[in-house]
Amino acid sequence: MRIENALQARPEYRKTTASATPSKTFGQVMQTAKAQDRYVPSTPQPRSEPEFSLAERTYYGSVTVSNATQAKLKQLAEIDRQADYTGMSPEEIYAEIWNRYDEAFGGDMIAIKGYIAGPAEWCVVNNQFCDEVTRHIFNPAINAAWKEGLELDGRPYTEWTYEEKTALDRLCMEKADKIVHDAMMKTLGYDGMSFDERETAIREKYAGKNTTLDFLNLQSELSMSGVLIHKMGMDRADTYLAMMRIQFDEAFNPNSIYNVGHEKCSMMTADQWYRVADQPFDTAQFAAAMKDNLHRVSGHNGWTEDYVKLLEGLFDHFITGAADDGLDSLLDAAIE
């Protein structure tokens, strides 16, 4: 099954408070902003984004984004301030926000949202994206679920016990989480598909693509679609992704703690990432390195021989795509 039914935001919903006409794409907005620059030199020069200070480009006290990314983030924030999602479903709002960010960052939102590897500035992009989703989808869903819970119970909230309030809060969170998750699945085209169908579709999507970014996108989609958790279970999926993050950092970040030590280490910059993003990716070598690391840390973590063998099988299945007839039996045994 191919991923063909990804939701696109409907044009009639692209509204802003400043205008009743459909909102522009991110690219169109950026071009308009450049054209409206108040200073026009006598000899036209190529126009780039405005310059931002180091302080303006530094987030959380440690992550510095590039000037180009800062310009995009500020423009996206301005678009968000003017956006009007009245009458739109959560799926339509998510698609609108997703498509805007995906366009702004060159189609890299899968890798950015996957949060496995890439430049440090991607965490800033992802956080701003998630803030918009939280504000426009998650929080309204929480409020609606809370109001529904009160109406169904009928009693004043002041009469509820602490345990009842806690249970309601948990239920509201679960409902809101599911609404956001379902909207993401709809936007990415996974809704209505089984986990096996999702895995097949994702593998077909990246068949024949072998750059570092292609591999990162593949792993990100396997994670975001729920395929990894479904196949491995939560704990093993967390271990798999944690070890993959370590291996990516060691292999591609020249300033990683594994390469230069604790005192000199730093997070990967955008320039460093884009120097390797389009290079051919050797899945066999990457899987072998992850297995070596697995054996190094297995004793410290108290992992049994069977557990290590299971993880090796999962590495082969999801990294190199190798068929392993014994993997399902190992997984069944682990569950038992």
pLDDT at 276: 95
- Determine which of 106-115, 260-269, 317-326 has the lowest per-residue pLDDT on average: 317-326
Determine the Cα–Cα distance for residues 113 and 242; give it in Å rounded to an integer.
16
174 and 231 in a common domain: no
210 and 186 in a common domain: no
166 and 198 in a common domain: no
pLDDT per position as a tens digit, 229-257: 999 999 999 999 999 999 999 999 999 99
Domain annotation covers residue 139: yes
225 and 93 in a common domain: no
What percent of the chain is helix, strand and coil (3-state, nearest 5)? 65, 5, 30
pLDDT at 49: 63
Contact partners, residue 299, CB within 8 Å, separation at least 6: none
pLDDT at 62: 86
Domain annotation covers residue 40: no
Tokens 């909207």 belong to which residue? 183
The residue from 192, 218, 238 where one domain ends is 192
204 and 101 in a common domain: no
Domain annotation covers residue 85: yes
Confidence of residue 106 (pLDDT cuts 50, 70, 90): very high
207 and 219 in a common domain: yes
Judge whether 96 and 80 are in contact, CB under 8 Å.
Answer: no
Distance (Å) of CA 123 to CA 92, 196, 281: 24, 30, 23
Judge whether 47 and 37 are in contact, CB under 8 Å.
Answer: yes
The answer to whether residue 202 scores a pLDDT higher than 80 is yes
Judge whether 64 and 121 are in contact, CB under 8 Å.
Answer: yes
Confidence of residue 331 (pLDDT cuts 50, 70, 90): low
Domain annotation covers residue 93: yes
Domain annotation covers residue 133: yes
pLDDT at 156: 94
Determine the Cα–Cα distance for residues 213 and 278; give it in Å rounded to an integer.
6
215 and 155 in a common domain: no
How many domains, in total, are found in the chain? 2
The answer to whether residue 118 scores a pLDDT higher than 60 is yes
171 and 209 in a common domain: no
Domain annotation covers residue 187: yes
Determine the Cα–Cα distance for residues 269 and 96; give it in Å rounded to an integer.
28
208 and 164 in a common domain: no
145 and 2 in a common domain: yes
Residue 146, domain extent: 1-31+48-192
pLDDT at 19: 38
Confidence of residue 61 (pLDDT cuts 50, 70, 90): confident
pLDDT per position as a tens digit, 126-171: 999 999 999 999 999 999 999 999 999 999 999 999 999 999 999 9
237 and 131 in a common domain: no
Length of the chain: 336
The residue from 160, 192, 224 where one domain ends is 192
**For the residues 92-114, what does the mean pLDDT come to?**
97
Confidence of residue 43 (pLDDT cuts 50, 70, 90): very low
310 and 289 in a common domain: yes
Domain annotation covers residue 42: no
pLDDT at 41: 39
pTM: 0.82
Domain annotation covers residue 36: no
The residue from 138, 157, 192 where one domain ends is 192
Mean pLDDT of the chain: 86
Confidence of residue 324 (pLDDT cuts 50, 70, 90): low
pLDDT per position as a tens digit, 256-295: 998 999 899 999 999 999 999 999 999 999 999 999 999 9
